Amino acid sequence: MNALTGTLLVARQSFRRAFRGPRVLWLGLVTLLPLLLALLQSSHRRGGDFETFAVTTLFFTLQAIVPFLGLMLGVSIFGDEVEGRTLTYLFTRPLPRPVFYVGRLLGMGAAFAIVVGVTTWGATLIYGRNLDLAPSEVRGAVAAAVGGFVAYLAFFAALRVLFRRALFVGFILAFMFEGAISKLPQGNVGQISIWHQSALIFLRGMEHRELDPEAIESIGSEETAGEAWRVLVAVFLVSTAVGAWFIHRRETPIPAATS
């Protein structure tokens, strides 16, 4: 079995496993929060306000829900195997270590990318009943959420390979450090934020809509959605390569068994 076939096999198994276990229940509830919020807001007058829809999508879905899901799933790509003491079994199989890493990343990423996409699509449609959103605008919102999620997932998965306390480090990066730098004025380091790129994709799909400039002051008028996609793809590919390389080169300590 070559590496490609092995990766696809592991990805298929991981895709199926992603919808099993207690994690699916509470992560599924988290994923549904944008949909529930959209239903709540649509029942009030504010549901027909484009700015409410845009701000909710930008700062709730893209900057809270999406990175949280990416963090919790990313650290579990191999964290589950380390904590469950099954990593040794996986690594003694005839497939190389990076195959399991990349396969699990692709499988779990595909599974929850579908969930994120469906819930974002549903929430956008609810707002769209009052806002008359075009199909391209709905697709832009879904693409921004899915693209950001996949980039966060790969980044935090690599972080778990590098650090034992990746959950703590990832929380600081996602909700403190990145949350701060993404709000910096145009032309600064805020452009390295994953949220910045996701927000750019979302906003470029809504260009003919009016939005308070203060809410998006970190987004430059010269920036394009194409550039944002290139950054997100680069984050995914580089993070995946770094994680696979370190998982191949570094020995992973297994917790001692407890009686």
Q: Average pLDDT in the 185-199 region? A: 74
Buried residues in 15-50 as b, exposed as e (16+ CB within 10 A): beebeeeeebeebeeebebbbebbeebbeeeebeeb
Higher-confidence residue of 39 and 189: namely 39
Cβ neighbours around 176 below 10 Å, total: 10
The mean pLDDT of 226-230, rounded to a whole number, is 93
How far apart are the C-alpha atoms of 32 and 91, rounded to whole Å? 36
Residue 169's domain comprises: 28-72+117-249
In a domain, 86, yes or no: no
Contact 179, 63 (CB under 8 A): yes
Does the residue 111 lie in any domain? no
Give the pLDDT confidence of 92-125 residue by residue, as tens digits: 455 677 888 899 899 999 999 999 999 999 999 9
Do the Cβ atoms of 170 and 85 come closer than 8 Å?
A: no
Answer whether residue 147 is part of any domain: yes
Count how many domains the chain has.
1
Residue 22 lies in a domain: no
CA–CA gap between residue 82 and residue 69 (Å, rounded): 20
* pLDDT tens-place string over residues 11-25: 888 888 877 777 777
Each residue of 28-76: pLDDT tens digit? 888 999 999 988 887 775 556 788 888 899 889 998 899 999 988 888 8
Q: Determine the pLDDT at residue 149.
A: 96
**Triad 66, 68, 71: Cα angle to 5°:** 110
